[in-house]
A and B are shown apart, each in its own frame.
Chain A
Amino acid sequence: MYDVIIVGSGPAGLTAGIYASRSKLKTLLLTSQVNPSLITTTDLVENYPGFPGGINGFELIERFKEQALSFGLEIAENDVSSIEKIVRDSVESWRVTASEHAYEAFSLIIASGTEYAHLNVPGEERYTGKGVSYCATCDGPFYRDAPVAVVGGGNAAVQEALFLTRFARKVTLIHRRDRLRADKVLQDQATANEKIDFMWNSVVDEVVGDDLVKAVTVSNVNDPQNKQTLEVQGVFIFTGNIPNTGFAKGLMDCDDKGFIKVDSEMRTSAKGIFACGDCTQKLLRQVVTACGDGATAAFAAEQYIQEIKGTSYTSWDAA
């Protein structure tokens, strides 16, 4: 029986892990074998305090992990499939099933993050790994001197477009609106970069090719009949995020898109379950806000556990 089980190994989950294990809570962190934290595929994180000049996302997470392990955090690589309520010594607790293992805890901290949304257009699935990519840092180097497209207008799209200019001959940024949503500093870098072109008010209708991607067909949102073909070898898609919260449905309140609703103490509608980071409904999804949420969630979980242990009369008090 754990005091707390943390689901997810991004900045939110690992910060919760640092705080919980440093508070001597018996803590287990479950990390996915399939979905790495999105920050691990981010080339450069420039706005996390303490790293002037920026830091690579993978390296940042390795540091988080090292710090958490130094406080005794236990980590298991298992993907969560379901969560159910149980009663242990007359206290409501939770059982987490993950890759054929079952774990039990008094409280849970959900920090399962998001994954990149798909466009859901013809050709996208067929050419995934054959020109369609959701990870510029993984696949960018395969496009040396090639023309590529980036779809999206937020921070991820612009940051990755800038990264791709190191390899690609030309990067065309396709965005459905007439201006970028990304931070001004990224916008300025992108507009100043000679390798980056913009296709405004445009959406991808189809990805086409033979064995590999050869082009995308693009239409104008204001004039859908106005279609053009853009010859590219790679299509990098960063059009938004969907939460990894399938296992949470029915257990706690989520918004229409599946983001978990939390209060200012990171409490969900399910007693004893806290949530933090990108998987929650919030204004700003960044490493620094995820860390803040994670610390709050761990502290709130600690208070919750003290409360239930204090009011209960069974043996774990002495443990």
Chain B
Amino acid sequence: MTEGTFVDNPDHPIVLTDTDIDKAIAKYPFIIVDCWAEWCGPCKMLGPIIESMAKKHQGDIVFAKLDVDGNPQTASKYSIRSIPNLIVFKDGRKVGDIVGAMPENKLLERINTFR
């Protein structure tokens, strides 16, 4: 897959960068972007939860990951001051964010409040 081309219904978190995040937000009506970094312990706890949710909610919610370390523009644009930080985009615009690691059921609850 070349950068910037996204499948319609991914069953795993797609990897985004500063360059292609806007394209992904425009393509998917409901996308959750997990902003993380290698240095962040709680981010690593959230990782497997995001993987699992991407599979379970395929076709309904799109999950993506963005490494803030290599993509400072996105971190700055969305005023990220704390990770893990999940930015929720609906119909092409940011509708909220979820800060901190939490179990899958709690996370789904939070995500559903943005629908």
Point out residues on A near B: beta carbons under 8 Å.
Answer: 33-34, 36, 40-41, 57-58, 79, 99, 128-131, 133, 135, 137-139, 141-143, 211-213, 233-234
Query: What are 30 A-B pairs with beta-carbon distances under 8 A?
Result: A33-B45, A33-B49, A33-B101, A33-B103, A34-B106, A36-B42, A58-B41, A58-B44, A79-B103, A99-B105, A128-B99, A129-B97, A129-B100, A130-B79, A133-B82, A135-B41, A135-B42, A137-B39, A138-B39, A138-B40, A138-B43, A138-B82, A138-B84, A139-B81, A139-B83, A141-B39, A142-B75, A142-B81, A143-B81, A234-B81
A36 touches B82 (CB 8 A): no
Q: Are the CB atoms of A33 and B102 closer together than 8 Å?
A: yes
In whole angstroms, how far apart are the Cα atoms of A137 and B99 in the complex? Answer: 15
| Chain B residues within 8 Å of A142, by CB | 75, 80-82
Contact A129 B85 (CB under 8 A): yes
Near A by CB (< 8 A), chain B positions 88-107 give 97, 99-106
When chains A and B are docked, how far (Å) is the Cα of A3 from the Cα of B37?
A: 38
Residues of chain B within 8 A of A57, CB atoms compared = 41
Count of chain B residues near A, Cβ 8 A: 27
Chain A nearest CB, measured from B66 CB (Å): 14
Give the interface centre of B37, B45, B105 by most chain A CB atoms within 10 Å: B45
Task: Name the residue of chain A whose CB is nearest to the CB of B46.
Answer: A33
The answer to whether B101 and A130 have CB atoms under 8 Å apart is no
Q: How far is the CA of A129 from the CA of B45 in the complex (A)?
A: 17
Residues of A within 8 A of B81 (CB): 129-131, 133, 139, 142-143, 212-213, 233-234
Residues on B with C-beta less than 8 A from A212 are 79, 81
Expressed in whole angstroms, the Cα–Cα distance for A99 and B100 within the complex equals: 19
Question: Could you say which residues of chain B place their CB within 8 Å of the CB of A129?
Answer: 81-82, 85, 97, 99-100
Query: Which residues of the partner chain A approach B83 to less than 8 Å between Cβ atoms?
Result: 138-139
Interface status of B69 (Cβ within 8 A of chain A): yes
Known A33-B102, A33-B104, A129-B100: A41·B80 in contact at CB below 8 Å: no
Nearest Cβ in chain B — how far from A314, in angstroms?
Answer: 36
| Set B41, B49, B80, B103: member contacting A36, Cβ < 8 A | B41
**Which of A41, A128, A129, A133 has the most chain B CB within a 10 Å cutoff?**
A129
**Residues of chain B within 8 A of A141, CB atoms compared:** 37, 39, 69
Closest to B98 in A: A129
Known: A129-B99, A141-B39, A141-B69. A36 touches B45 (CB 8 A): yes
Distance A130 CA – B42 CA, assembled complex (angstroms): 17
Nearest A residue to B84 via CB reads: A138
Do B41 and A137 have beta carbons less than 8 Å apart?
yes
Minimum C-beta distance from A213 to chain B (A):
8
Contacts of B40 in A (CB 8 A): 135, 137-138
Given the interface pairs A41-B41, A138-B40, the reply to whether A130 lies near B49 with Cβ below 8 Å is no
A36-B42, A41-B41, A41-B42 given; A139·B82 CB < 8 A:
yes
| Residues in chain A near residue B80, CB distance under 8 A | 142
B18 CB → nearest A CB, Å = 16
By beta carbon, the residue of chain A nearest B101 is A34
CB distance from B75 to the nearest CB of A (A): 7
Apart from A130-B82, A137-B39, A143-B81, list 20 A-B contacts with CB within 8 A: A33-B102, A33-B104, A34-B102, A99-B105, A128-B100, A129-B82, A129-B97, A129-B99, A130-B81, A133-B81, A133-B82, A135-B41, A137-B40, A138-B84, A139-B81, A141-B37, A141-B69, A142-B80, A213-B81, A234-B81
**Digit string of B65-84 for contact with A (CB within 8 Å is 1, else 0)?**
00001000001000111111
Most buried by B among A99, A138, A141: A138
Nearest first, the 7 A-B pairs at minimum CB distance are A129-B99, A40-B41, A129-B82, A33-B103, A138-B40, A58-B41, A139-B82
